[in-house]
Homo-oligomer: A and B are copies of this chain.
């Protein structure tokens, strides 16, 4: 029996809800996680007590808002073991973070013929920005070959890394396969040829301890809403030496230093990359989420996520007519599966009638679907508020789905 790590009905109001007469079983945290009381309270408290714009005025509310926003940046910085809070840029989410690196770093440093190394399992957000920067600069995409179970071997990475490799962009944990990619080793190879390592941490930062220096990364992108934070806030972390050289891509608000009619100069990092009023309450909510996760313990969360992922993987494999994707061990908190002859949308629909929320579709990873040879899959994903009971209900629902469609 794998138990939730928190008192779910106390911390997560949404789990007190019944859907179609059943209590909610939420297995879609890879799409977005739920938000605990302390996160909702932190944002509410900000609006009720200290609401003001940041960096702008000298009145008390503005001082409080500015201090809270700066403290949120420090909280993020500590959480990912960055050397300086200035390396933390607030964005809307992973997608904006990756687009920022691709456009700012990519357009500036890529030359025709330079190579960008990707994997075919990348989320569109870590793939299409690179296709586009390649188009703009004449750089070339090189895809790592996946092993049969969808994992990445260092040998396969070696085969695509060359002296022309300028960027490798890779997810730490796949949102479909639940596989864990060997970032440290890839980063080593990339650094040996003078390239930079961009890590899509959308699925890893919520689920495991993160140390950007130990990870050997140059950039790390992640989203608040997948780690108990609100929507509309995310992070790009980057090494100070890169950020200092990079040009901003959005202009206006507090990102400038001097402006006249003809020209402008930029503020320092991180403001340089944060034009316009930021999502202040969002940053404060994300910091509260980090405090909440830290209190539980990222090691415990990592262990729990993996235990559920591996348990679900093993159990699903036992059901005839069900295919499960990705590696057996280690297997993180997302498990993709299909049932012979039943479309994933129909699976999700039957599940919903029992209040089990999963996702069906291509999971923003069409090249991976093409590699797997399927149009779409069902996906169950877990977080620390799930238990092995939830997996039991998932298994029952699969049997019921088969009965329903194979009558």
A contact set with B: CB distance below 8 Å: 13-14, 17, 19-20, 24, 26, 28, 31-32, 34-35, 40, 43-44, 47-49, 51-53, 56-62, 92-96, 98-99, 120, 123-129, 131-132, 141, 143, 223, 225, 230-233, 249-254, 256, 258-264, 275-282, 345, 348-349, 351-352, 355-361, 364, 366-367, 370
Contact = CB atoms under 8 A, between A and B. Distances in A.
A62 B28 contact: yes
Contacts of A281: 230-232
The 3 nearest A-B residue pairs measured at CB: A95-B276, A232-B279, A125-B252
Contacts of A279: 92, 231-233, 279, 282
Given A14-B48, A367-B260, A57 B95 contact: no
A273 B76 CA distance: 28
Contact of A262 (B34, B60, B141): B141
Contacts of A251: 95, 99, 124-125, 128-129, 131-132
B13 A48 contact: yes
A225 to B, nearest CB: 6
A60 B358 CA distance: 10
Given A57-B360, A93-B276, 11 more contacts: A13-B47, A20-B60, A28-B61, A95-B275, A124-B251, A127-B252, A129-B250, A131-B263, A132-B251, A231-B282, A256-B366
A357 B48 CA distance: 16
Most chain B C-beta atoms within 10 Å of own C-beta, residue among A57, A94, A233, A280: A57
B58 A360 contact: yes
A42 to B, nearest CB: 12
B259 A366 contact: yes
Contacts of A14: 47-49, 51, 61
B28 A51 contact: no
Nearest to A126: B252
A383 to B, nearest CB: 13
B125 A253 contact: yes
Contact of A141 (B225, B261, B278, B360): B261
Nearest to A102: B251
Contact of A232 (B56, B128, B233, B359): B233
Most chain B C-beta atoms within 10 Å of own C-beta, residue among A19, A124, A357: A124
